[in-house]
Amino acid sequence: MATRYILAPYVKAGIQHDTLYLGFGSIQREFTDNAQMRAALALADYWREPRPRSDALHFLTHVIGMSEPNATDLIAEFVAQRAVVVDGEIDTADRYSRHHLFYSMAGASPHKVQTRLRSRHALLLGCGGIGSVLATALATTGVGRLTLVDDDIVEPSNLTRQFMFTERGVGSSKVALLSTAIQLRFRDVKIQPISRAVRSMRDLEGLPHADLIIVSADSPGIVGLVNQFCVKNAVPFVNVCYINDIAVWGPFVIPGETGCWSCQDILATPNGLDYESAATISMINARYQAPSFAPVNLLASSLALLDISMYLGGYGSVKSLNKRIGLWTHDLHFEVQDCRRNPNCKICGGVQRGTAPIDE
């Protein structure tokens, strides 16, 4: 039996300034010619019911009056742009159906993405304003296993942005409370809470193996430490954070495939200064306390989650490979730092390419 297609649920049509817009966002197609407009609308309407491509071709050529080459091209465009999907590919009653629409728009099979997510294990270092959001979103997206690592307790000041905690939980372990809160939303996810500070390679080596490590902890030097561990053990990781009012994510490091945290000079440090200047900087920085504002935390979490979902789900393209990206929230511009691989890097310079593939 021939494959039957149906108009994708995420397709809308509208006309503005004599232009027909069919679909919006990444699938958007614009028609300005009147004949093309009528044909495109007729085809979209025709495919509100499941039909094979051969029937659609007959409809366009015999009912609408298009030439066969033009009709063939229009049908191919509908299929290539994901304006139509295979009948039965998306079950609107499924728990994940709204996510499945997103995966379909990205050109992926929703079933394959969901199956892959179910088999993935993400380990989160830090369960505060960013980590708690990422953990909850990953679990409810369908990631099968989470390990939550943090030695902190809930404080009243956390409640302005760490929305999985409540006043009743003040003084209690973040990972324990977060695990319970997530389990209430998705009982099938396997969660391992670990109340532990990560200060050494030994602390990392004692953690379970994961498909991806997500670093949102803010203890000094932790990203460099994780970078060394992940390069050594061929484990992908991504850093997600904020710098004052900048929402930051990346680089997304895949050992053997991308640059690592140490490949390029991306941090402002006192290295190379005379002793007196370096000491002055240390004294200035000793009193630093980062402003932590919910909108900035949520922006960093959301932008990173797109990359994390694409990597774990095996669809789309991870935007922060070889890049550290910051969204400056005061004027909404992006800054991109180069994190490309440096063959002379002291951490990953000797790692062979292809030792840690993106796909399984």
What pLDDT does 356 receive? 44
What pLDDT does 138 receive? 97
**Residue spans per domain, the chain:** 4-86, 119-338
What pLDDT does 219 receive? 86
What pLDDT does 359 receive? 42
Q: Out of 1.10.1760.20, 1.20.200.10, 3.40.50.2300, 3.40.50.720, select the CATH number for domain 119-338.
A: 3.40.50.720
pLDDT-flagged residues of the chain (< 50): 355-360
Cβ atoms of residues 121 and 144 within 8 Å? yes
pLDDT tens, residue by residue, 276-309 = 888 888 888 888 888 899 999 999 999 999 999 9
Q: Name the residue among 137, 87, 350 with its Cα closest to residue 228.
A: 350
> Which region, left, alpha or beta, applies to residue 38 given φ > 0 means left and ψ of -120 to 50 means alpha?
alpha
What pLDDT does 281 receive? 83
Sign (positive/negative) of CA torsion 83, 86, 91, 96? negative
The architecture (CATH level 2) of 4-86 comes to Alpha-Beta Complex (3.90)
Q: Name the residue among 125, 102, 350, 347 with its Cα closest to residue 241.
A: 125
Cβ atoms of residues 314 and 359 within 8 Å? yes
What pLDDT does 337 receive? 97
**Radius of gyration of the CA atoms of the chain, in A:** 24
Same fold, 4-86 and 119-338: no
What pLDDT does 233 receive? 96
pLDDT tens, residue by residue, 159-211 = 999 999 999 999 999 999 999 999 999 999 999 999 999 999 999 999 999 99
What pLDDT does 69 receive? 97
